[in-house]
Structure 1
Amino acid sequence: MTIHSGRTSVIALAVAALVATATAIVTVAGTAPAAQLAASTVENEGADCAVPALPDAGSLPTNARLPDPFRRLDNSRITTTGDWRCRREEIKRLAEKFVYGEKPAKPQSVTGTVSGSNITVNVSHNGRSSSFSASVQLPSGTGPFPAVVVLGGFGADTAAIRAAGAAVINYDPYAVGREGTPRNNKQGAFYSIYGNTSPTGLLMAWAWGVSRIIDVIESSGGTVLRADATGVTGCSRFGKGAFVIGAFDQRIALTMPIESGTAGVPILRGVPGEGAQSLSSAYGEQPWFGDAFGTFTGSPNRLPVDTHEMVAMVAPRGLFVMDNPHIANLGPRSASVAALGGAEVYKALGAGDNITYWSDVADGTHCANRPEWRTPLQQNIQKHLLRTGNAAGAMRISSRAQGNLAEWRDWTTPNLGQSPSNPPSSQPGSPSSSPPGSPSSPPPVGGCAASVSVNAWTGGFVATIRVTAGANPINGWTVAMTLPAGATITNSWNTTRTGASGAVQLANVSYNGRLTAGQSTEFGFQGTGSLGTPPTTCTAT
Structure 2
Amino acid sequence: MRFQRYRPRMLMVAALLGVASLMTTAVGAQAAVPTVGGEDDGADCAVPSPGNPGGNAKLPDPFTRIDGTRVTTKDDWRCRRSEIKKLAETYVYGEKHGAPQSVSGSVSRTGISVNVSDQGKSAGFSASVQLPSGSGPFPAVVVFGGFGADTATILASGAAVINYDPLAVGKEGTPRNNKQGAYYSLYGSSSSTGLLMAWAWGVSRIIDVIEQSDGSVLDAGATGVTGCSRYGKGAFVTGAFDQRIALTMPIESGTAGAPIFRGIPGESGSQPLSSAYSEQPWFGDAFNPYTGNPNGLPVDTHEIIGMVAPRGLFLMENPHIDWLGARSGSVAALGGAEVYKALGAGANISYWSDIQDGTHCAVRSEWKAPLQQSIQKFLLNTGSAPGVFRVSAGKSGDLGQWRDWQTPELTG
Per the normalisation by structure 1, the TM-score is 0.72
Does residue 1:22 correspond to 2:18, yes or no?
no
Equivalent residue, structure 2, for 1:395:
389
Equivalent residue, structure 2, for 1:301:
295
The superposition leaves residues 181-238 of structure 1 with CA deviations (integer Å, 9 ceiling, x where unpaired) of 0000000000000000000000000000000000000000211000110000000000
In structure 2, how many angstroms separate the alpha carbons of the residues matched to 1:125 and 1:270?
39
In structure 2, how many angstroms separate the alpha carbons of the residues matched to 1:261 and 1:344?
21
The structure in which a higher percent of residues are strand is: 1
Say which SS state the counterpart of residue 261 (structure 2) adopts.
coil
In structure 2, how many angstroms separate the alpha carbons of the residues matched to 1:285 and 1:39?
38
Equivalent residue, structure 1, for 2:56:
63
In structure 1, how many angstroms separate the alpha carbons of the residues matched to 2:364 and 2:267?
24
Equivalent residue, structure 1, for 2:321:
327
For 1:134, the aligned partner's letter is: A
Equivalent residue, structure 2, for 1:282:
276
Equivalent residue, structure 2, for 1:416:
410
Equivalent residue, structure 2, for 1:522:
none
In structure 2, how many angstroms separate the alpha carbons of the residues matched to 1:32 and 1:252?
19
Does residue 1:84 correspond to 2:77, yes or no?
yes
Instruction: Choose from 26, 37, 47 the match for 1:41.
Output: 37
The superposition leaves residues 17-74 of structure 1 with CA deviations (integer Å, 9 ceiling, x where unpaired) of xxx962225536264542xx1342200010000111122xxx3322000000000001
Shift of 1:305: 0.1
RMSD between aligned residues = 1.4
Equivalent residue, structure 2, for 1:183:
176
Shift of 1:2: 10
Equivalent residue, structure 2, for 1:232:
225
Does residue 1:169 correspond to 2:157, yes or no?
no
In structure 1, how many angstroms separate the alpha carbons of the residues matched to 2:301 and 2:30?
23
The superposition leaves residues 303-333 of structure 1 with CA deviations (integer Å, 9 ceiling, x where unpaired) of 0000000000000000000001111110000
Amino-acid identity (%): 69
Does residue 1:247 correspond to 2:235, yes or no?
no
In structure 2, how many angstroms separate the alpha carbons of the residues matched to 1:183 and 1:322?
30
In structure 2, how many angstroms separate the alpha carbons of the residues matched to 1:228 and 1:376?
21
Does residue 1:265 correspond to 2:253, yes or no?
no
- Sort the Cα spacing of 1:122 and 1:340 in 2 relative to 1 into closer, same or farther, 3 A: same
Equivalent residue, structure 2, for 1:535:
none
Contact 1:28 1:353 in 2 (8 A): no
Equivalent residue, structure 2, for 1:107:
100
Shift of 1:366: 1.0
- Written as runs of structure 1 = structure 2, the 5 A alignment for 1:410-449 is 410-418=404-412
Contact 1:39 1:229 in 2 (8 A): no
Equivalent residue, structure 1, for 2:19:
none
For 1:157, the aligned partner's letter is: D
- Sort the Cα spacing of 1:215 and 1:238 in 2 relative to 1 into closer, same or farther, 3 A: same
Moved over 3 A (4+): 30-33
Contact 1:28 1:395 in 2 (8 A): no
In structure 2, how many angstroms separate the alpha carbons of the residues matched to 1:89 and 1:369?
35
Does residue 1:338 correspond to 2:326, yes or no?
no
Equivalent residue, structure 1, for 2:348:
354
Shift of 1:81: 0.3
Shift of 1:244: 0.2
Instruction: Choose from 208, 217, 225 the match for 1:215.
Output: 208
- Sort the Cα spacing of 1:135 and 1:229 in 2 relative to 1 into closer, same or farther, 3 A: same
Say which SS state the counterpart of residue 366 (structure 2) adopts.
helix
Tell me, which stretches of 5 or more residues in structure 2 are unaligned? 15-22
- Written as runs of structure 1 = structure 2, the 5 A alignment for 1:364-403 is 364-403=358-397
For 2:47, the aligned partner's letter is: V
The superposition leaves residues 395-428 of structure 1 with CA deviations (integer Å, 9 ceiling, x where unpaired) of 111101000000000000001011xxxxxxxxxx
In structure 1, how many angstroms separate the alpha carbons of the residues matched to 2:153 and 2:293?
42
For 2:94, the aligned partner's letter is: G
In structure 1, how many angstroms separate the alpha carbons of the residues matched to 2:193 and 2:315?
25
* Count of aligned pairs: 397
Contact 1:32 1:350 in 2 (8 A): no
In structure 2, how many angstroms separate the alpha carbons of the residues matched to 1:380 and 1:28?
18
In structure 2, how many angstroms separate the alpha carbons of the residues matched to 1:157 and 1:243?
17
For 2:49, the aligned partner's letter is: A
Contact 1:107 1:125 in 2 (8 A): yes
The structure in which a higher percent of residues are helix is: 2
Say which SS state the counterpart of residue 10 (structure 2) adopts.
coil
Say which SS state the counterpart of residue 397 (structure 1) adopts.
strand
Equivalent residue, structure 2, for 1:440:
none
In structure 1, how many angstroms separate the alpha carbons of the residues matched to 2:211 and 2:277?
35
Equivalent residue, structure 1, for 2:50:
54
In structure 2, how many angstroms separate the alpha carbons of the residues matched to 1:21 and 1:147?
34
In structure 1, how many angstroms separate the alpha carbons of the residues matched to 2:165 and 2:2?
19
Pick 1 or 2: higher relative contact order, CA cutoff 8 A, min separation 6: 2
Say which SS state the counterpart of residue 98 (structure 1) adopts.
helix
Contact 2:2 2:321 in 1 (8 A): no
- Sort the Cα spacing of 1:413 and 1:41 in 2 relative to 1 into closer, same or farther, 3 A: same
Equivalent residue, structure 1, for 2:18:
none
Shift of 1:369: 2.7
Contact 2:148 2:363 in 1 (8 A): no
Say which SS state the counterpart of residue 124 (structure 1) adopts.
strand
The superposition leaves residues 130-168 of structure 1 with CA deviations (integer Å, 9 ceiling, x where unpaired) of 000000000001200000000000121111100000000
For 1:209, the aligned partner's letter is: G
In structure 2, how many angstroms separate the alpha carbons of the residues matched to 1:63 and 1:25?
26
Say which SS state the counterpart of residue 393 (structure 1) adopts.
coil
Question: Max radius of gyration: which structure?
Answer: 1
Say which SS state the counterpart of residue 262 (structure 2) adopts.
coil
